[in-house]
A = this chain, B = another copy of it.
Amino acid sequence: MTPRQARLEQQRSDILHAAASLIAERGFHGMSMRDLAEATGFGVSSLYNYFASKEELLAELQIRAFETLIAAANDSRQETPDAAARLYVFIFNQVRYFIDHADVMRVLIHEAAALPAEHRQRVRSLKEAYFRIGRDAVAAVFAQGCATPDTARGPVEAVALDRATYSIFGMINWVWAWYEPTLHGTPEDVARSIHSLAVCGLVARCPASPSQEELPPGLAHRQVSLLKRQAGTK
């Protein structure tokens, strides 16, 4: 990659960072290109050297975010054979990512509908791919639980599995709305609470508590950065 392209990519990334912050604060329609220009230090018109329109800027932001999320989830997929532990890794990765990039998270959740129809489909398919990864992790835990001798549950229907998966995503996605580092513990605490609720529930005796044992420090704890910055900047 020529230094020309590197510099261009760097500045596109900077603009996306600033845009994520502003959109998270005021919504897509609430952020003006003049706001974004002031935040980045560019003139208003210079932004159009990097993105064709305001909408394409939003689309690029969401696409990059989901691609990063999917890559991180895939990387740490087959680390451990235990289903409950794998689910914990999945939950923790996403929780920490959302806590580290709260503004991007808000954009992902809030502004899917603001996209033009063309980019909508691309983002939706990425979202569905990510959902399937999560559902596989949930299904594995489900199957493992059903295999225990003292439960008489039959095989889980697909609809119920979908509902359970969406509910678990709900717990994770809602973190942006309430989490305060000074009030609610570490990201690990949050991930443990969610995982424990998902696997064991509020009152049941928990047959699998993988939250205690430490995670492999490699891929699972790898720092995922949505909009990658060049080394040395900021």
The chain A residues found within 8 Å of chain B, CB to CB, are 25-30, 84, 109-111, 113-114, 138, 141-142, 144-146, 148, 150-151, 159-160, 162-164, 166-175, 177-178, 183-185, 189-190, 193-194, 196-208
- Measured CA separation A69–B144 after assembly (Å): 38
Within 8 Å CB of A148, what residues of B? 203, 205
- Measured CA separation A144–B114 after assembly (Å): 45
Copies in the complex: 2
| CB nearest to A142 among chain B residues | B202
Given A145-B202, A163-B194, A164-B197, 13 extra CB contacts under 8 A: A27-B110, A144-B203, A145-B204, A151-B203, A151-B205, A160-B189, A164-B193, A166-B174, A197-B198, A197-B201, A199-B204, A203-B207, A204-B204
Report whether B197 and A203 are in contact in the complex, using a CB–CB cutoff of 8 Å: no
- Measured CA separation A167–B197 after assembly (Å): 8
| CB nearest to A24 among chain B residues | B113
Smallest beta-carbon distance A55→chain B, Å: 12
Report whether A145 and B26 are in contact in the complex, using a CB–CB cutoff of 8 Å: no
| CB nearest to A87 among chain B residues | B202
- Measured CA separation A113–B169 after assembly (Å): 23
Can you name 10 A-B residue pairings with CB atoms under 8 Å? A26-B29, A110-B110, A145-B204, A159-B183, A159-B184, A163-B194, A166-B184, A170-B171, A198-B202, A201-B204
Task: Name the one of B25, B160, B178, B199 contacting A113, with C-beta atoms under 8 angstroms.
Answer: B25
Report whether B202 and A206 are in contact in the complex, using a CB–CB cutoff of 8 Å: no
Within 8 Å CB of A110, what residues of B? 27, 110
Report whether B185 and A159 are in contact in the complex, using a CB–CB cutoff of 8 Å: yes
Report whether A114 and B27 are in contact in the complex, using a CB–CB cutoff of 8 Å: yes
- Measured CA separation A92–B90 after assembly (Å): 28
Within 8 Å CB of A206, what residues of B? 201, 204
Report whether A208 and B203 are in contact in the complex, using a CB–CB cutoff of 8 Å: yes
Report whether A27 and B28 are in contact in the complex, using a CB–CB cutoff of 8 Å: yes
| CB nearest to A25 among chain B residues | B113
| CB nearest to A167 among chain B residues | B171
Report whether B205 and A150 are in contact in the complex, using a CB–CB cutoff of 8 Å: yes
